[in-house]
């Protein structure tokens, strides 16, 4: 069964505590948290202090997706908060190996995200060390964009890469434009975790939407 990680980016920011509680009660598996710095992507969101203030209000594991140019600067802050997955972008650092080891040394799971134009092959020599590959199915920066179909092939390649390493516990997550129409495609391709922002937060019945996305 796939897991559903609603993206907080589509929540009502004036009522964050209620929104997160609502998502938890609606059956979400993880809370997807999009950190944007206005450099790596042309948008700003929230930082560690805001996320820290939410930690005591939900038991959901934090799935932190850093769309920032200097991800290494935030490892300790998110480890201190209590973060399950710390995911950074392959395009943001030439030192993926070092950063992955550092994330794990803090007891977090390490994920690497790929922009739509970045090949899965870039992760061949780090996959054995990864807990997650996050395939972007939109260009990062904004919620509510349309799914890029090529992501389906990349999900399959990422699954195959983890399968190659027999002892791997790595999961494949897909992020961007996931809705009732595209969810079956990414489930079929083998995605383990589906991120959904606008589809879940915009649904009249969020619990029903989460169930339907799971298939």
Binding of residue 58 to ligand DX5 (CB under 6 A): no
Provide CB contacts within 8 A for 146, sequence distance 6+.
138, 177
Q: Is 107 annotated as a binding-site member?
A: no
- What is the sign of the dihedral through the CA atoms of 174, 178, 180 and 182? negative
Strand partners, 89: 113
| Closer to ligand DX5 by Cβ: residue 119 or 144 | 144
Torsion of CA 82, 52, 50, 18, to 10 degrees: 90
| Closer to ligand DX5 by Cβ: residue 84 or 128 | 84
Q: Residue 149 Cβ, how far from Zn ion at the closest point, in Å?
A: 19
Q: Which of residues 128-157 bind ligand DX5 (CB under 6 A)?
A: 138, 140-145
Distance CA 176, CA 160 (A): 21
Q: Using CB under 6 A, which of 10, 26, 87, 182 touches ligand DX5?
A: 10
Q: Residue 174 Cβ, how far from Zn ion at the closest point, in Å?
A: 10
Strand partners, 63: 32, 85
Q: Is 197 annotated as a binding-site member?
A: yes
Pattern 100-129, ligand DX5, x by CB under 6 A: ------------------------------
Q: Is 34 a catalytic residue?
A: yes
Best CA proximity match to 202, nearest among 42, 4, 2, 11: 11
C-alpha distance from residue 19 to each of 26, 57, 139 (Å): 10, 11, 25
Strand partners, 18: none
Residue 213: both structure tokens together: 């996305």
Q: Residue 55 Cβ, how far from Zn ion at the closest point, in Å?
A: 19
Residue closest to Zn ion when measured from CB atoms: 65
Q: Is 47 annotated as a binding-site member?
A: no
The kind and range of the H/E element at 111 are strand 109-114
Q: Which of residues 161-180 bind ligand DX5 (CB under 6 A)?
A: 175-178
Q: Residue 27 Cβ, how far from ligand DX5 at the closest point, in Å?
A: 17
- The residues of the shown chain that bind ligand DX5, judged by CB under 6 A, are 7, 9-10, 32, 34, 65, 138, 140-145, 175-178, 195-199
Catalytic (active-site) positions = 34, 175
- Binding region for substrate: 7, 65, 141-144, 175-177, 197-198
């Amino acid at each position: 069964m796939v897991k559903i990680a609603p993206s907080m980016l589509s929540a009502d920011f004036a009522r964050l505590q209620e929104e997160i509680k609502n998502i938890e009660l609606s059956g979400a598996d993880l809370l997807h948290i999009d950190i944007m710095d206005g450099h790596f992507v042309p948008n700003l969101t929230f930082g560690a202090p805001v996320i820290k203030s939410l930690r005591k209000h939900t038991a959901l594991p934090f799935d932190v997706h850093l769309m920032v140019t200097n991800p290494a600067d935030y490892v300790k802050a998110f480890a201190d908060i209590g973060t399950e997955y710390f995911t950074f972008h392959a395009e943001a650092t030439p030192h993926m190996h070092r950063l992955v080891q550092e994330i794990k040394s803090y007891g977090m799971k390490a994920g690497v995200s790929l922009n739509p134009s970045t090949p899965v092959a870039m992760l061949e020599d780090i996959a054995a060390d990864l807990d997650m590959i996050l395939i972007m199915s939109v260009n990062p920066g904004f919620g509510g964009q349309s799914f890029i179909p090529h992501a389906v092939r990349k999900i399959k390649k990422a699954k195959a890469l983890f399968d190659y390493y027999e002892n791997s516990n790595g999961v494949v997550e897909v992020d961007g434009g996931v809705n009732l129409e595209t969810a079956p495609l990414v489930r079929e391709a083998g995605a383990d975790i589906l991120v959904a922002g606008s589809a879940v937060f915009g649904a009249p019945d969020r619990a029903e939407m989460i169930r339907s996305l799971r298939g």
